[in-house]
Structure 1
Amino acid sequence: MSSSSPKSKIHTIKTIVSTIGTVATTVMVVRSVAKDYLPPEFRDYIYLGLKSFIKKCSTHLTIVIYESDDFKPNEIYKAAEQYISTKMSLKTNRLKVTKTPNQEHPIQVSTDENLEFTDTYNEVKLYWSSDLDHPSTFATLAMDTDIKEKVMKDLDRFIARRDYYRRVGKAWKRGYLLYGPPGTGKSSLIAAMANYLNFDIYDLDLSTIKFNTTLRSLLVATENRSILVVEDIDCSVELHDRVSAEHRRGLAQDNHHGYRKEGQVTLSGFLNFIDGLWSSCGDERIIIFTTNRKDKLDPALLRPGRMDVHINMSYCTPSGFRLLASNYLGITQHDLFGEIEDLIRKVEITPAEVAEQLLKDDDPDISLCGLIDFFDIKKKQNEKAKAKEEENLAAKESEKIQELQKYEN
């Protein structure tokens, strides 16, 4: 009996391994056949059916608490955040710390994005998690196809060239400058890039940073495989290296008295943050600047090695409109498309404005007619804005002439 027992166990193990191998082979064959011969729509139908069946058998209930409701703060979200901060265990390895207006509790600690922990209430397990899920993808992005393909190819090339960057002695990072008027999809493109690469996003607000050393600390704290975003860089902070002589004299006077003004991130400090020695602390990093006015940026920020790729986020194009119509109305052709595309070529309108008009009605006829009416309004707005801009330029030129005349006198 004792001698046959090990043989019996070995036979049982062989049977289990053989069964697992057979099942795995069958699954691979079925998957290959389904992928090659079944239409994508049919595969999606089967997948959704299985997903629905599994959900019916599951005893889990998911409750989603949004941070805001119709642009108003959700009080339940705040309450849940405060509750979670009291229930976190020692196993939580990443926390988010924020400052609050509450004088009694000025610091609030909560979970960071994409973290989950378990809580038990009346013998029922609750799984709390915080997730950042932006739906933007390259497929839904209202951009010219050529530009989207260019960006995706550049991202693929960047990800695949780790050994190349090491061989040539460069930090494994890439810089993108997204410039164009508001509403042209700069933030959506950033989200699409993050989803495409499965990267984390860090949003850097320069207006809250007072010292160059803080920039360095923030850079070191970011994870690999991440995107660091500085939005509206021309408006968020004044970089003080290339300034007027009066400003430099003011800084010198401050230093003479033994202190320095707060809120001064220098241009040299910021450039070191982008491509200095400390920028090499980490791999697979992408730095993205956004701006409405590229001409306002210092040329030192724009050179290759800092901002490698410059992407002009232009006004809506005919191809962008067709993609928006497909996404929002579910149509790829309509009798009004030709008229709308002609108007798009003549009137400057952003993808966000087109999307807002398409959202107003589910009926394609009503929605597209409303968009055509909006073009008339937009044309008048553009003409008025242009006239005001010319008036401001004329006023500035007049001021310059008066200053020159005073100087000559």
Structure 2
Amino acid sequence: MSVVVPAAGTAAAPGAPLPDRQSKIIRWTAYFLAGFVLVSLTRVVTGADDINSTGALRAALVATIPILMAGLGGLWSERSGVVNIGLEGMMILGTLGAGYYGYNHGLVAGLLGAIAFGAIGGALHALVCVIFGVDHIVSGVAINIIAAGLAAFLAEEWFTDLEGGGPTQSPPLPEVPTITIGPLADFCSEMQDKGWFLVSDLFSLLGVLVDRMSILTLVALVLVPITGWILWRTPFGLRTRSTGESPSAAESLGVNVYLYKFIAVTVSGCLAGFAGAYLATVSSSGYQNGMTGGMGYIGLAAMIFGNWRPGGLLVGAVLFGYTQAVQLRNGEQSLHALLLAIAVLLLWVAFTQFRRKATYQAIGSVVAAALALLWYLTTDEVPREFTGMAPYVATLLVLALASQQLRMPAADGQIYRKGSAG
């Protein structure tokens, strides 16, 4: 029997399976729409209008960006085979750089200073792990500890005698420019107040994009497809990913493994520094000790949830950012309403697990769904003590559910020595 291979660019025959990339886009779009409908339905059933109001979604976007940028930094590093637990420390350095240079030299200098400070942390991690062969986890933890101590010391030295500053914080920094499309923003606000199912929710989401949208938010969102294009569509990206999959094979083909790893980890630090700048200028009005609050670790979790890919990372960052924002805005009632959505989501997860013959996992998901529904039916609000834990609980829950389908780069975390290809 002869097999005919279609030429490049030829349309697929009717009924033929879609290309892998196209099917993934369709699947993630379907997931987004289903989640949007579920949250909208939850709002209508529970009356918790703040779970997807424009204010809540704007707060979620602001909370998402630092997580997204930290996760994107982790993606660069781990695609080159270097685990970067030090993202938290590099974010801390970024907040300090933004505080010092932003106050003394303006917004642009603050952003560049934050990126430079993060790059120093990334380069240090690359030097220790790639060149000297130190365990990646040990190096990352050390960077986190050093960065926290160094930032506290320098903040006291730099900001104590400044007006509006102190030993633990910088004076207020220049505001980041925003974009507002006035008539469209007003119309979105009017439509949101109608309370209509799906329609009002759609205009709530649109209102976030047309009302007080920070320039740095747009830059951060653009960096996601840029990263995807560089790492998956360019020779540089192919070589970088090859060092994370099989550095020995890459070296045998003439790739300078050390150089590509070093560049990727330094870029990782730059992105973490950008995340720190965003925290200091958009999320807050200046530098403060401890303002990262573990977001570097949550960014790493978002990257893992996204299966080491930009699109999945974006979904994970939005999920964690939304959870963090909701618990800050009328958290007791909002999180109580979301228990109903969580119960429905867990039942869907159980259904998919049953289809994959993962019986024990499916039973666990059903039990968890029942507990979430029981919690919703027997209470009026979530205890205040739990709301602060919500982002971290969501992180653990999502990773537990997604862990069965994850595939990290084959050589991620391995110590590589030059010449081992031979």
Which bracket does the TM-score occupy, shorter chain normalised? under 0.3
TM-score (norm 2): 0.23
Which structure's CA Rg is the greater one?
1
Higher-RCO chain (CA-CA 8 Å, sequence separation at least 6): 2
Larger helix share, 1 or 2: 2
Higher share of residues assigned strand: 1
